[in-house]
Chains A and B, each alone.
Chain A
Amino acid sequence: KAGVTQTPRYLIKTRGQQVTLSCSPISGHRSVSWYQQTPGQGLQFLFEYFSETQRNKGNFPGRFSGRQFSNSRSEMNVSTLELGDSALYLCASSSGRGEGVGDEQYFGPGTRLTVT
């Protein structure tokens, strides 16, 4: 079974630009979550999508948004990039049985975003 894939793996952007990251979950998984990892703040939850609906959202500004498609693939978008957005963005998928049962989440390799 193929794992979680994320594209692109590396990205360099300039302040003020916007960026779109993509995540393809494990086949059959319906829940996709996004996390931001920085040296200072560690791993922080951005949002989770299940069946094309945002089910939970972390404490990030509105510049961070996402969506999920009918095939469960997900994208996240960051508009008006700031230097502080430089981070490793990790996507995770789980079966998402919809019961908050602590499903195991499987992570992709991440997208390393650098904002200059």
Chain B
Amino acid sequence: AQKVTQAQTEISVVEKEDVTLDCVYETRDTTYYLFWYKQPPSGELVFLIRRNSFDEQNEISGRYSWNFQKSTSSFNFTITASQVVDSAVYFCALSEAGQGGSEKLVFGKGTKLTVNP
């Protein structure tokens, strides 16, 4: 069965600190997709990144970087030099291929990040 675990419920940092959000997943499929979404107080989920199971290259986008390790079933997200605007709830999600084309996402419980000035 699919499962996504975000063990960190809440994290609080001071501006300019680096912070890593952890994500561990479970799946029986060999082909799957991992996502990170950001949910600011407004409520709308904002897509950040998608990674497929065959691409273990780390990715960097500005202050954001992602570390995908199949050996540990983890897909961690790091924010470098955090800013107050990064304050939000961050969700990790998993989608398996072979669901008849369905794009069902299984989400973790989310990590609430607070960046203090």
Contact = CB atoms under 8 A, between A and B. Distances in A.
Interface of A: 31, 33, 35, 42-45, 48, 50, 55-56, 58, 88, 90, 92, 94, 96-110, 112
A97 B101 CA distance: 8
A106 B47 contact: yes
Given A42-B109, A42-B110, A45-B105, A104 B100 contact: no
A104 B110 CA distance: 18
A43 B32 contact: no
Contacts of B33: 101-102
B75 interface: no
B95 to A, nearest CB: 5
B107 A42 contact: yes
Per DSSP, chain A at the interface is: strand
A94 B45 contact: no
B103 interface: yes
A50 B44 contact: no
B91 A43 contact: yes
A72 to B, nearest CB: 14
Which of A42, A55, A100 has its CB near the most chain B CB atoms (within 10 A)?
A100
A109 B104 contact: no
Contacts of B100: 55-56, 100
B14 interface: no
Interface in B15-61: 32-33, 35, 37, 42-47, 50, 52
Which of A33, A88, A101, A112 has its CB near the most chain B CB atoms (within 10 A)?
A101
Contacts of B93: 43
Given A102-B50, A104-B50, A109-B43, A33 B104 contact: yes
7 contacts: A33-B103, A45-B105, A55-B100, A58-B104, A97-B101, A99-B97, A108-B44
A45 B104 contact: yes
Contacts of A100: 95-103
A9 to B, nearest CB: 9
Given A45-B105, A96-B103, 4 more contacts: A92-B105, A100-B99, A106-B47, A112-B43
A31 B102 CA distance: 9
A101 B50 CA distance: 11
